[in-house]
Amino acid sequence: MGRQYQYRTVDGRETVQIAVRGRQVLARPMLNFGPGYTLEQRRALGLTGLLPPAVNSMNEQLKRVYQQFSSQPDALSKYVFLNQLQDLNEILFYRLVAEHIDEMLPIIYTPTVGLAIQQFSSTFDRPRGIYLSIEDPAGIDDAFRANGQGADDVDLVVVTDSEGILGIGDQGVGGIRIAVGKLAVYTTAAGIHPLRAMPVVLDVGTDNPRLLNDPAYLGGRYARVRGQRYDDFLALFVAKVKEHFPASLLHWEDFGADNAHRLLETYREEHCSFNDDIQGTAAVVAAAALGAVRTKGKLLSEQRVVVHGAGTAGIGIADLMRDIMVSEGLSREEAERRFWGLGSRGLLRTGHPMRNFQERYARPAGEVDHWVTAAGRYDLADVVRNVRPTILIGTSAQAGAFTEEIVRLMTDSCERPVIMPLSNPTSKAEALPEDLLSWTDGQALIATGSPFAPVVHDGVTYEIAQANNALVFPGIGLGTVAARASAVSDRMITAAAQAVAEMTTARRPGSAVLPSMRQLRAVSAAVAVRVAQAAQEDGIARRTLTNPIQDIHDLMWVPNYPTVEVVDRTDVQSARHTGAAHTEDSDDPAQPE
C-alpha cells in the first residue's frame, strides 16, 4: 500500500507530501489546515467547495479558536474543546497551547486531565493511542503494525497500566488519557514531533468497583491481574517495543507503587526507559529544593528533609536529593541519614513493615526511643517536633496534612522553611500556599504540585512555584532522543534537576523557586542539552552532538503549517527512502495523539 502522507524536514524546512484527496485530507488532523489552505492548494487537493471561501492565516485561526476556548464555562469543557480541536487540526491545537502554555497546561495535563480520565468511558468519542489487553497478548504485534509507524518512525512510547493515576488511583482503560496528555506536553514543551510518539494503555483489569459496575466502562471487566501473568505480559510488551521501535524511549507512567520501581529497575537496561513518577518528580522537586536552599545561601547537604508520603514518588525524590548531597561531599550513608520518610504506618523505622525500596531510609529503632510522641504513633507531627526539618515534602495525597501546628513547629527552628505540598489534584494538596505564608509570616519557600495563583501577604506578591514534572520530563525525553541514548542514567536525571535550578532566580521577596511555566520551551531546551551531554559523559550516547545547543534547537518541532507538496501514493512510498521523517500507511484517518 502506498503512503497517504509524509512529513519531511530538509535543511530546516518542513514539507508535507500529500497523496490523499478531498475529505480524506480534512479527516486527518495532521493534514487538516482548514481555511489555512490556499486556493491553489485546494484545487490540487480536491478541496474546492469543501471549505469556506476565505483563506485564513495561522494567526487569524488562532484568534478564533482562542475565543472559542475562552468561552467554555469550566475546565472540563475547555479540555473537551481542546481535545476536539486536536482531533480536527493538530497543528493548530499545538500552536494554540504553545502560545497560551501557562493557561492551557493545567487543562491538557494536571489537574484537569484527572477529571477527564474519570469520565473516559462516558465521554469517549474518537479512539486515540494503542489499547493492549492482557487477554490478547498475541495482539500486540497486530496493534503496533495497525498504527502504521515503522521501526524508525517512533522516538517515544508513553505507557501506563492506569493503577496509580495522579492522586485518583486505579482508572482502568481510561488511563490512556494520561498517556495522551503526557505526549501533548512533550510536543508543546520539547518539540517532539506528534507523529513520532505513541500513547499506550495496558488493560490488565481494574480493582475500581465504580468502573466494574459501570455499564458504559470500555475496559476489561475483571479484577486487576497481578503476579506472574502480569509480569509475563509486561515482559512481552517490552520485547515487542524493542522489536518494533528499537530506538524509542519507553516512558512508564502512573504504575502502582508495587510495580513502578520494580519495572523500572527490571527494564531500564533492557530498553531505554524512564519513569516520570519516580525520576521526573524527583528531578523537579530536587530542582525546587536546590533553588530554595541557594536562595538561603546554603547547600542541600546541610538540610534535614522529611518526606510525608514515602511511596514511589517520595522515595524517588529522596534518592535523587541524596545523590546530590553525595556530590556535595557526604557519604551515601550520611546522606541517607538526612531523610525521614513517612508511609501509611507512620515513620519508616526498622522492625516495622515496609516495601523493599523504602528500607534504605528506615530509621534505627534505638534512634527514636527517646522521642516525645503522641501515643507512640510516630506520625508527621511527632517527626516534625523531634527532627525540626528544614525541608518538608508532601507526596501523601492527604489533604491538609501540613497543619498550622506542624508548620509553626517547623518555623520555630528554621528561619526560611522549604515546604512543598506536592499532591495532585488540588483537592489532595497537603496545604494551601496562602495558609503557609500566613503561618510562617511570609518566610516559607513554597513549591506546589498543582498550579496556584499568586498570593499577596503583607503587601508582597508571592509567585507560587509549581513543581510540575513538565519542567523536566520533556527535556529529559528530548535530550535522550537527541543523543540516541541506550539508557536513562542517574547522571542524566541529576543533570536535568541542575539545569532547572540554574534557571531559577529567586532573589527578590516573593519570587518563585522554580522557573515559570511560561518559560517551558526554553527550560526544556536547556534540560535537553544537559541531559544529552550527561549521556555522552556516561558513554551511553549512540549519537554525538557536535553543537549541542544548535542540534537540540534544530530537533524541536515548531507547530507551523508546512510547505505542501501534492503527490500520488507511489511518490510518497518512494520518498520514504530519501530522508522521510514522519509517515502514515493506514487507510484509517484516525491518528495517534
Residues identified as active-site: 109, 182
Listed in sequence order, the DSSP H helices in 147-256 are: 176-190, 209-212, 227-244
| Residues found in the chain | 593
Q: How many CA atoms lie within 13 A of 335 on its CB side?
A: 19
| H runs (alpha helix) in 37-173 | 39-45, 58-70, 75-88, 90-99, 101-108, 112-118, 120-123, 139-146
Rounded distance, CA 134 to CA 63, Å?
45
Rounded-to-integer distance, Cα 268 and Cα 242, Å = 12
Strands 5-10 and 13-18: antiparallel
List of E strands, 291-428 = 305-308, 339-343, 346-347, 391-394, 418-421
Cell numbers placing 237: 510488551
Q: Could you give the angle at the alpha carbon of 342 between the alpha carbons of 336 and 515, nearest 5°? A: 70
Cα–Cα distance measured from residue 559 to residue 96, given in angstroms and rounded to the nearest whole number = 9
Rg of the Cα atoms in the chain: 24
Environment class of 314 (CB within 10 Å of its CB; exposed 0-12, middle 13-18, buried 19+)? buried
Q: State the cell numbers at 362.
A: 528506615
Q: Which of 52, 158, 181 is nearest to 108 (CA)?
A: 181
* Phi, psi at 306, each rounded to 5°: -110, 125
Residue 208 to residues 455, 456, 546, Cα–Cα distance (Å): 37, 41, 50
What's the rounded Cα separation, in Å, for the pair 453 and 442?
16
| C-beta atoms surrounding 97 within 10 Å | 25
DSSP letter (8 states) at residue 133: E
Residues ≥6 apart with Cβ < 8 Å to 30: 5, 7, 16, 90, 91, 194, 195, 591
**206 close to 170: Cβ distance less than 8 angstroms:** yes
Query: Do the Cβ atoms of 418 and 293 come closer than 8 Å?
Result: yes
569/47 Cα distance (integer angstroms): 18
CA count, 13 A, side-chain hemisphere, 179: 33
Q: How far apart are CA 137 and CA 212, in angstroms?
A: 22
Query: Could you tell me which residues come within 8 angstroms of residue 568 by beta carbon, excluding any fewer than 6 positions away?
Result: 2, 19
481 three-class SS: helix
Cis peptide, bond prior to residue 53, ω within 30 of zero: no
